[in-house]
Amino acid sequence: MEQVSIVLEPVRAFLIQLGEFLPKLIIAVIILLGGWLLAKAIQLAVVKGLKSINFNVVTERAGIDSFLQQGGAKTDTIDILGVLVYWLVILTALMIAFNSLGLALVTELVGRIAMFVPKVMVAVLVLVFGAYFSRFIDNAITTYGKNVGLTDAEMLGRLARYAIMVFVVLIALEQVQVATELVRLTFLILLAGLVLALALAFGIGSQHRAAELLERWWPTNSKKSVTDKEYFDGRK
């Protein structure tokens, strides 16, 4: 009997551990199932809520949706935000489920991933509103320039738009913490190189072209200076 008891002792210990683990496993499965249903419901609510406030109009005017379609994506910005919300809820449910099973390391890893999802959502919103604002500034500068007679109004509007988008992209990358120092240094180097190239072009090699551009951009000032010169020459 003692030998049989010794042989059956590991089996008995395994059955005891299995009996303690099964309720936790069942609870974890219920949590995951409830989290999946909740994630689907919240995703649907977010998508419908954003469409009800015409957020899709903002993304279309910002050019984000057209950019995604040109890249071959069969989705839009609202769907992306809905998917991000869905995975945020799923990851939260996974954290609770793994924590109920006593898997602390896995819970911590999933928690770090879950904390990254809101940053991506903020980055998407920054890109959307930043692109919308850049287009608004582009249209405003172009319209004003055409009204005052600037022949290069569209070019100035595009330059302002691209400059704003560069800062917007930097802010978005800052949110997701993707090589922020490298991106910042690269932007500063490119900006310094652009400024230096423009300075050399206008200051050394393109003085005549710069004078022509100034003449086209501010014709009133040019005429005024000529008139003043003729006035003083006439008095002499």
101 within some domain: yes
Structure tokens at 185: 């240094």
211 within some domain: no
Whether pLDDT at 206 is above 80: no
Sign of CA dihedral 52, 58, 59, 61: positive
SS3 for 141-172, per residue?
HHHHHHHCCCCCHHHHHHHHHHHHHHHHHHHH
215 within some domain: no
Phi, psi angle pair for 160, to nearest 5°: -65, -40
Cα(128)–Cα(58) distance, integer angstroms:
8
Q: How many domains does the chain have?
A: 1
224 within some domain: no
- Structural domain span for residue 87: 2-205
Residue 211 has a pLDDT of: 64
Q: What is the pLDDT of residues 1-42, one digit of tens each?
A: 555 566 566 666 666 766 777 888 888 899 999 999 999 999
Mean pLDDT, rounded, for 111-129: 89
pTM metric for this prediction: 0.70
Cα(177)–Cα(159) distance, integer angstroms:
27
Q: How far is residue 15 CA from its own chain's centroid?
A: 52
Q: Where are the alpha helices (DSSP H) in 177-236?
A: 180-200, 207-217, 219-235
Whether pLDDT at 222 is above 50: no
226 within some domain: no
186 within some domain: yes
Phi, psi angle pair for 14, to nearest 5°: -65, -40
Residue 85 has a pLDDT of: 94
